[in-house]
Chains A and B, each alone.
Chain A
Amino acid sequence: GNSVTQMEGPVTLSEEAFLTINCTYTATGYPSLFWYVQYPGEGLQLLLKATKADDKGSNKGFEATYRKETTSFHLEKGSVQVSDSAVYFCALVHSGTYKYIFGTGTRLKVLA
C-alpha cells in the first residue's frame, strides 16, 4: 500500500543553519507530493507541493524536488529562522482521490 516515511525528530538547529528533512514514499503510479507545516497550537497549512517527477515546489525559502527515481521529496532551506520552529509533515495523494497519506511528522526547533 501507499506510505510516507519521514526522518525521526526532533531536529534542533541554530539560526541560519541549513535544513534538510528527509521524506521517502511508497506508492503506485504518480502521486502528488506535499509538505505541510504545523505551528504550535494551530492546524496544518500547505507549505509547498509538486505534482510530477522533477517538479520543484518552493515557498518561504523552503524547497523540495519530486524525485521519482529515489521516491523522495526531501525538504530543504538554506538558512532557518527561529520562526521556522514547527512540525513538518510530508504527504502524498493520488489526483482525484483526496485520500492523503501523511508521514508521522518531524519537529524542528531553531535556536537563536
Chain B
Amino acid sequence: DAGITQSPRYKITETGRQVTLMCHQTWSHSYMFWYRQDLGHGLRLIYYSAAADITDKGEVPDGYVVSRSKTENFPLTLESATRSQTSVYFCASSETRVGGEKLFFGSGTQLSVL
C-alpha cells in the first residue's frame, strides 16, 4: 500500500537494550523526519534527513542514531534505551518543492522502556 508505515506499532524493552524503529515511505519524498510525542511537549524533532545519506540533528538527538541508505527507509535506533525515552515516536516525510512543506505522518510506535 502507498504511504508511510512504521513498525513495530508497540514495543516494550528494558533499560540498556538496543531498539530500532522502522519507517518506510512509498512516495520517494526526499525529506524524512523522526519526532517524539510527550505530554506537555507536543512533538519534538529528533533527527531529519534531506536525502539518502544526508542526516542532521533536530531538537532532541541525544541517545538516538539514524541512517538513510535508501530514500524510502529511515530507521531510528536507540543504542542503549533509557526510561526517559519512553514515548510515542512518529516518522514523517515531506516533498521538497517550495510550498510543499506538508508533513505526512506514520501511525506511530509506542515505546515503553522498563
Q: Which residues of A contact B (CB under 8 A)?
A: 32, 34, 36, 41-46, 49, 51, 89, 93, 95-96, 98-100, 102-105
Point out the residues of chain B lying under 8 angstroms from A96, CB to CB: 98
The answer to whether A43 touches B90 (Cβ under 8 A) is yes
The answer to whether B101 touches A89 (Cβ under 8 A) is no
Cβ of B67 to closest chain A Cβ, rounded Å: 19
Chain B contacts with A in 1-53, Cβ cutoff 8 A: 31, 33, 40-45, 48, 50
- Give the docked Cα–Cα distance between A46 and B48 (Å): 19
The answer to whether A95 touches B103 (Cβ under 8 A) is no
Point out the residues of chain B lying under 8 angstroms from A43, CB to CB: 90, 92, 105-108
B93-114 interface code vs A (CB 8 A; 1 in, 0 out): 0100011011101111000000
The answer to whether B31 touches A95 (Cβ under 8 A) is no
- Give the docked Cα–Cα distance between A98 and B102 (Å): 9
- Give the docked Cα–Cα distance between A47 and B33 (Å): 19
- Give the docked Cα–Cα distance between A51 and B44 (Å): 22
Give 19 new A-B contacts, CB below 8 A, not counting A98-B48, A102-B42.
A32-B99, A36-B103, A43-B105, A43-B106, A44-B43, A44-B90, A44-B103, A46-B103, A49-B102, A96-B98, A98-B50, A99-B58, A100-B43, A100-B101, A100-B103, A102-B43, A104-B40, A104-B41, A105-B42
Among A42, A45, A98, A104, which residue has its beta carbon within 8 angstroms of that of B42? Answer: A104
- Give the docked Cα–Cα distance between A96 and B97 (Å): 8
Point out the residues of chain B lying under 8 angstroms from A103, CB to CB: 42
Which B residue's beta carbon lies closest to that of A105? B42
- Give the docked Cα–Cα distance between A56 and B17 (Å): 48
Q: By CB atoms of chain A within 10 A, which of B94, B102, B103, B106 has the most?
A: B103
Cβ of B87 to closest chain A Cβ, rounded Å: 14
